[in-house]
Amino acid sequence: MRTPLTAAALLALLSWTCTGQDNPKVKHAESAQGQVTAHSQGLHGYIGFGHEKHPPRSAYSAGMGFYAAVWPLVEQPLANFQIGLPGSWIQPDNSDNKDRPLAPEGTLARTWRERGPTWGSVFQTVEGGLGYWAGNHFRYGPPKFSMNGTPQCYDYEVGSPGWSFFYSNEALPDHRLGIAQLSNRLLIPPDGLPFQGHPNGEFLGYSWMALPFTDPTTGDPPTGNQSWTCFLSAANFKGPIAYYIPETWSKIGKLFNDQFLQGRGLDARPGLMGGGAMEINTVPRFDAQDAQGTVYSKLPKLQFPVDAEGRAYLVQDVTYYSKDALQDTFKTWRDGGLACSGRFDEKGAWKPKLNARTTRYDQAGKKVVGIERAFDTRIFDGNVWGLQWFTNTLAAAGFFPQYYKHAGEERLAVSAAEVPVETKLLTQPFKLATPGKPYTSPTTGAWARPGPKLGSFTARLTDGSVVTYSWYRFVDQPSFQQHNWSADKKAKLQAFVEKVHARWPIDRDYMAPPTRGKRVALDPALLVTPPKGLEVGYVPIVTRQERDTSLSFK
C-alpha cells in the first residue's frame, strides 16, 4: 500500500508537465494504479445494544433469550467471511473475584494479557447464534444457527453434539465432547442449522435456560446442576434442542489441579448476561490506487432488510429469566411432582428497556469514519433494536458503505461514484465459497460403545450437503461416555428424558411468540420422525456431513 502523493511530489509533477522532465514518482504512481491487491481485516467492530441497569444479578440469572432477524447479509456465499448476526454472551458470574486468575497458565486466554488480572471475560462462555463463519463448510446464502461454548479459556470450542465450532473436519476428542442432543425431532449438523427458502427479516427466537437435568455432586470434580439448554422458536419447530452437560464446565479445575476454580463455572454460577451485538470479524477487502496514488478499499456488499422508512428491525423481546420461569417447576417434575409444560412463566421474566450505541469500526487497526452518515443504531417503538438508514431509504435493503478512501490514519467511507474508475475496484469480484471437506466422526470410542440403536440414515439439506445420522439411546450418545456415572444416575436421567419426549411437542410455544413480525422456518429436511419403537428416549446423532454430489457447483 502506498501513501497519497505529497505536496512536494505535486510540485514536481507540475515541473515535469511544464518542462517535460522525467519524474520517477509519477511513473511509479502510473504503474501502480489499477493494481488490485487482496487483503483480510476489511472491517472490524460490534454493532450492539445495551439495556437499563440489571436487577440484582441473582434474580434473573437463570436464562435469557430474544428474537433475532434472519436475512442474507451477502448476496452470494463468500469465502473467508465471518460476521455474526445479533447474538449474546453468557458467562459465569465471578464478580466476587477481583484479582485471582480464572484462566490457568498454559491456556490460550492466559496469553491475552489485556484480559487480566482475572481473565473472567474469557474463562467460559456460551455464545454462538446466527451468522456466517469463516470455517463454514457448506455456505448457501442465508445465515445459519449454531450453538457455541468455550469451556476452557478458548483452548477449544464446542458447537454441536460432536464437533467444534467449524475448526476441524474431525469430531472432537471423546473427552472434549460437551453438548447432549435433547430433541428427538431435529437434526443438529456440525455446520449449523440452515433455513427454508429465502428469509428476509423473519425472526428466530432462541433462549438459553439453566435446567437441572441432574443433581449437583461433590465428587471429583465437584459439579453443579445447571445444564444450559438451548430452546428455539421457529415457524416449524419449537422447543429445546440440546444442552451443555454440567461437567463440561466443572472439569477445568481438576484438569489444571486448581481448587480455586471449583464451583466457578457455568455449571454452578449464576449466568452473567447483558445486551448483545453483531460481531464483525473476518471480512475480505481489496485495495487499489488511483492515478494520483490515493488508495481506496472495497468491501463485500453487506445488505440489511429495511422498511419504507429505512428501518431494519434486528432484535426484539429481549428477556431475562429467574428460576421461577422454568427451573423450579422443571426440578419439581424431575423429582416426581407435577409435570411442567415447559412454557416460560412470565412471573419469572424481566424485559429490560433497551438502549442503542453508536459503533466504532476499524480496518486493519485504522479508524473508519463516515459510516454514521449512512446509518446508526436505534431503539424503535415496541422496544425493538435495529438500524436506521439515512441513505437508500427507497430501496428494499440498506447497504453498509462498501468503499473507503485512505486518508492518513483514517479510512473514510465514500460512495461508489467517488471511486476513480482506474482503480478497477468497481468491477473487482470477491472470491466465492466452495463446498468444504466432509465432517467425519470415528467408528471407535464413545461413538461405538455403547453405540447407536439404529442407523444409519441420510438427509439432504438446503445448504447443498448430506447429513448421515443414527439413532442413539439418550444416555448412550457419545458426549456422555467420558463421564463415570453410576448406572442409577444414567437410568434416572434416561427415564426423565423419556417423559420430556412424550410431553413436550414441537408445536407448543415455550418462549412467548414474537410481539411483531413472522417466525422464520428451519430447513424442513432437519425435521425427523423417530422410528417405530424409538419414539421416546432416543435421539438422532449426526455422524457425518458432506457435499451433496448430486448437485452441481460452479
Structural domain contains residue 30 = yes
Which domain, by its residues, includes 241? 44-280+318-350+437-547
Q: Are residues 475 and 335 in the same domain?
A: yes
The predicted model scores a pTM of 0.92
Instruction: Answer yes or no: is pLDDT of 49 > 70.
Output: yes
pLDDT of residue 16: 33
Q: Does 119 lie in the same domain as 245?
A: yes
Residue 361 domain-assigned (yes or no): no
Q: Tell me the mean pLDDT in the region 358-380.
A: 93
What's the grid cell of residue 424?
Answer: 478497477
| Structural domains of the chain, count | 2
- Give the tens place of pLDDT for each residue, 409-460: 999 999 999 999 999 999 999 999 999 999 999 999 999 999 999 989 999 9
Kindly state whether residues 157 and 271 are assigned to the same domain. yes
Binning pLDDT at 50, 70 and 90, where does residue 56 land?
Answer: confident
CA angle 366–369–372, rounded 5-degree value: 140
In a domain, 356, yes or no: no
Mean pLDDT of 467-495: 97
Higher-confidence residue of 290 and 16: namely 290
Distance CA 319, CA 515 (A): 12
Q: Is residue 333 part of a domain?
A: yes
221 in the same domain as 175:
yes
pLDDT above 70 covers a percentage of the chain that reads: 93
pLDDT at 18 over 50: no
At 274 the pLDDT is: 84
27 and 124 share a domain?
A: no
Poorest-pLDDT segment among 274-278, 334-338, 549-553: 549-553
Q: Is 290:420 a contact under the CB 8 Å cutoff?
A: yes
- pLDDT of 393 higher than 60: no
- Let me know whether 273 and 308 are in one domain: no
381 domain-assigned: yes
* Residues 502, 383 within the same domain: no
Average pLDDT over residues 305-330: 96
pLDDT at 471 over 80: yes
Q: What are the CA-CA distances from residue 256 to residues 46, 105, 108, 250, 459 (Å)?
A: 33, 9, 13, 11, 41
Residues 188 and 245 in one domain: yes
Residues 147 and 259 in one domain: yes
On the question of pLDDT at 167 being above 90, the answer is no
pLDDT (tens digit per residue) in 383-392: 999 999 997 6
* 163 found inside a domain: yes
pLDDT at position 187 is 98
C-beta neighbour count of 505 within 10 angstroms: 11
How far is Cα 12 from Cα 189, in angstroms, rounded to an integer?
A: 62
Residue 378: how many CB atoms within 10 A of its CB? 18
Over range 318-341, report the average pLDDT.
Answer: 97
Same structural domain for residues 235 and 375? no
Residue 360 lies in a domain: no
Regarding whether 69 and 216 lie in a shared domain, the answer is yes
Q: What is the pLDDT of residue 10?
A: 31
Domain assignment present for residue 359? The answer is no
Q: Are residues 271 and 139 in the same domain?
A: yes
